[in-house]
Amino acid sequence: MQPKASLEDRILRTLERVDQDLPTIPVVLSRIMHLTTSDNTSIRDLIEVLNQDQALTARMLRVANSVYYSLREKVTTLERAVVVLGFDMVRSLAVGASFIRYFTPRSKHSGFDLNAFWTHTTAVGVFSENLAREFRFTEPADAFTAGILHDIGKLFLLIYFQEDFERTLSRLSGGRLDFFEAEMAEHGLDHAGVAGFFLEHWRIPSTLTSPIRCHHGPLPPGPEAGLAAVIGLADYAARYFQIGSSGSPYLSPPQPEMLHAFGLTAAGFQALLELLAGRRTEVFKLISALD
């Protein structure tokens, strides 16, 4: 009798076989994600892609007109939305809204609250962007995108590897473990690694894939380390403030290397938490607009 293949082996085999029921990234979402890989991308390119999905267009206008942005005039066109929100933020919001739309399971799971999950990921997106601005990142909108997608691997497991997901939930109920710790103990692979496999398969740029894969550590080498640390700290903050739910009842402290990435002391990190506490209202306004 052959030993059962590991979760990683089964994911890799699924990705290699074209005849599998493999989730495919929607065309519109794929084009949005790859727009920034070209030096010749224009606002018109982004608008043309968004116009292919009327539901997504309507959602972008709703977000632009939400109290989250407190605009003085009503935004009625995508062109105006891009002007007032900025190219990068419209792209990031479109990515987040698309994933919420396309990768929410149709059936509910008794042990995993999907609404609370998306609330959590939206909070991480907002907090990641705020931290990126605080640390003077050149592309804070990328931090929003990575933050809102940081736990997408959990959804992939819930939808396509449900038995493995169930075993993780069972292990969670038995002790003081964070979600990723329970996954590593059960499968030797966590949801961040799972997300990395799928995002690489879809050819999502490594500038996003690598930080998402490493947001629980260890940090990746090179320039992606800062973004991975931002996501990890934003994730901790969202759970510290109990905004939504990541699916884990236990909150482990932030990894020391994530604090060290920005030279943060315990007092410095507490000051950042106080800064993010003032942004909680923004999270709920954005969630309402994206819903």
What's the predicted TM-score (pTM) here?
0.88
Examine the domain organization and report whether 175 and 210 are in the same domain.
yes
Quick one: what percent of the chain has pLDDT higher than 70?
A: 92
Range of the domain at 67: 23-102
Give the sign of the dihedral formed by CA 100, CA 208, CA 133, CA 120: positive
- Of 102, 118, 147, the position where a domain reaches its end is 102
Which range is most confident: 23-32, 91-100, 134-143, 234-243? 234-243
| Interval 67-87 mean pLDDT | 80
Examine the domain organization and report whether 160 and 254 are in the same domain.
yes
**pLDDT, averaged across the chain:** 85
Q: Which residue has the higher pLDDT, 46 or 272?
A: 272
- Of 102, 125, 147, the position where a domain reaches its end is 102
Quick one: what percent of the chain has pLDDT higher than 90?
A: 41
27 in a structural domain = yes
Give the sign of the dihedral formed by CA 268, CA 274, CA 279, CA 283: positive
Examine the domain organization and report whether 138 and 92 are in the same domain.
no
- Asked if pLDDT for residue 263 goes beyond 80, the answer is yes
123 in a structural domain = yes
pLDDT at 19: 40
pLDDT at 4: 65
| Interval 241-248 mean pLDDT | 93
Q: Report the candidate in 137, 153, 165, 104 with the shortest Cα–Cα distance to residue 290.
A: 104
pLDDT at 200: 86
Examine the domain organization and report whether 155 and 276 are in the same domain.
yes
Examine the domain organization and report whether 85 and 97 are in the same domain.
yes
pLDDT at 1: 44
- Helix axis angle for 7-16 and 191-201, nearest 10°, is 10
| Interval 171-193 mean pLDDT | 90
pLDDT tens for 12-57 read: 877 765 445 545 567 777 787 777 555 677 788 888 888 888 888 8
| Interval 164-191 mean pLDDT | 90
Q: Which residue has the higher pLDDT, 48 or 103?
A: 48
Q: 3-state DSSP call for residue 244?
A: coil
143 in a structural domain = yes
138 in a structural domain = yes
Give 263: exposed, middle or buried? Use CB within 10 Å, 0-12, 13-18, 19+. Answer: exposed
Examine the domain organization and report whether 159 and 88 are in the same domain.
no
Examine the domain organization and report whether 124 and 245 are in the same domain.
yes
pLDDT at 232: 97
Examine the domain organization and report whether 65 and 176 are in the same domain.
no
Tokens of 254: 């932030």
Examine the domain organization and report whether 148 and 216 are in the same domain.
yes
| Interval 184-212 mean pLDDT | 90
Examine the domain organization and report whether 82 and 128 are in the same domain.
no
